[in-house]
Structure 1
């Protein structure tokens, strides 16, 4: 018995496979291949799935295509079927950080922190990390360290956050800062 895929199911399946392969390329440190694959796969039709849009935008951010990433993230944010808008907002902040637009980067992260609906510990922690990097690049080292401390309160076993905070504290003390920084 031959039961062919419907056109709708076929497209969903292809999009799912493309998204997974895109993640593999990103994990292997080959974002250019991920972007090329997305562009080949979706050149004749728009990407409608917000999850796929987020992954594509991540590749664009890592390849320095910030304007295109901003377009894709705006589409994902406006996608009424986007089940995880917070991820899209986090990526928008990361896009600004990567583009070295540190003042603009603050807004998406602050939006997440101001949200009264519980976005989850991990999302909140990453918003604090985003604010920390924006503050750090604006030479607000004490504020950056305090933001990392808030992230660590939410994710106390996250070694990357802890390591970055230790690094920035050491740098802060070498520079002879007189600002009080909370202990690790």
Structure 2
């Protein structure tokens, strides 16, 4: 009986663990190149019976936010003073069992580093989940590793070759 219960619990954890591991705010891509203009996508799942009504993303130091893709049913406020982007639902928000993607373009830092994407998820019931911890935390923030291009053939998220930083800076911000 003890072996049967242990096997049942182990099997249940194998089924539940991937769901728990994927049920947090993520930012893609998780890897990019220095100085590149990147299209980032934030994926927001809902883990509660209450809908998500607002999401705030803190743009990491060194990342230059440029523009966002509009999402029907959501208003967007970009605050360059505190480096945040806020999406607020104009209707029902994101319901339990659903997720929403929000995309934006930003320029990566010129130096190789890991950037942390702190996110604040606001639910209709008034609760807030702060996705600001390290990878071992209950509510980890997403990260993107920014590396130097390994070759002249490296491309950005638009499929364009990464050119010298001099040419990238020609794009007006």
Query: Given the two structures, how large is their TM-score scaled by the length of structure 2?
Result: 0.27
Higher percent of residues as helix: 1
Determine which structure has greater relative contact order: mean sequence separation of CA pairs < 8 Å that are 6+ residues apart, divided by chain length.
Answer: 2
